[in-house]
Amino acid sequence: MELFKAVESRRSVKHFDVTAEMPAEDFTRLVQATMLSPTSYNIQHWRFLRITDISLRSQLKDAAWGQQQVEDASELIILCADINAWSDRPERYWAEAPKEARDVLVPMLTEFYKGKQQLQRDEAIRSCGLAAQTMMLAAKSMGYDTGAMVGFDPERVAELINLPEGYLIGMMIVIGKAAKVANGRGGQLSINEVLFENSFLGND
């Protein structure tokens, strides 16, 4: 599917065909594409938790206040991030770069994030957002529908999935084949309301 068509046609789906399955090669291709998402200093904070256990899906549905798509979608991904990835063997992120680049970038990376807890968390969340959009657009281009979900009890979900210390939950993403056409867009702001130039001052 052409990129702009995927962007325009992607909608948040809540009703999935429970009989639809995603072939293993499609799932692998989707995750590999998502892993090409950009991250600051190539840190790659994201961690993708694929939920295949039926009983766990049911418990996660309860934690998501009964939203049926958690059980019905072909795939349920809990998109998490390692907040401390910046300090976890950062040389890995530039292992294939020329030595001259490594010698500059690895210390620069460490110095940039050291002691800045809010920045560390912000960066992990940014990485989740970029990966989520890549995943949803790639899925759409492959003929699948998706929904990004933040409507759940994060503490209960963290407990159910044994979320490691220092990790955060960005969102859940459900993927599959729509059983019902998504609702139309609720209301799009005009470009004049969201696009500014040079400064916010003087823009009415």
Task: Please tell me the predicted confidence (pLDDT) of residue 203.
Answer: 55
Could you give the CA distance from residue 84 to residue 45 in angstroms, rounded to a whole number?
8
Coil/strand/helix, residue 164:
coil
Residue-by-residue pLDDT tens, the chain, 204 positions:
688 999 988 999 999 999 999 999 999 999 999 999 999 999 999 999 999 999 999 999 999 999 999 999 999 999 999 999 999 999 999 999 999 999 999 999 999 999 999 999 999 999 999 999 999 999 999 999 999 999 999 999 999 999 999 999 999 999 999 998 878 888 889 999 999 999 998 655
Burial 43-67 (b: 16+ CB within 10 A, else e): bbbbbebebeeeeeeebbbebbeeb
Backbone angles phi, psi at 123, to 5 degrees: -65, -40
The rounded distance, in Å, linking the Cα atoms of 14 and 88 is 37
Question: Measured between alpha carbons, how far is 138 from 2 in angstroms, rounded to an integer?
Answer: 11
Q: 137 is written with which tokens?
A: 């657009």
Model's pTM, two decimal places?
0.94
Quick check: 45 and 124 in contact, CB under 8 A? yes
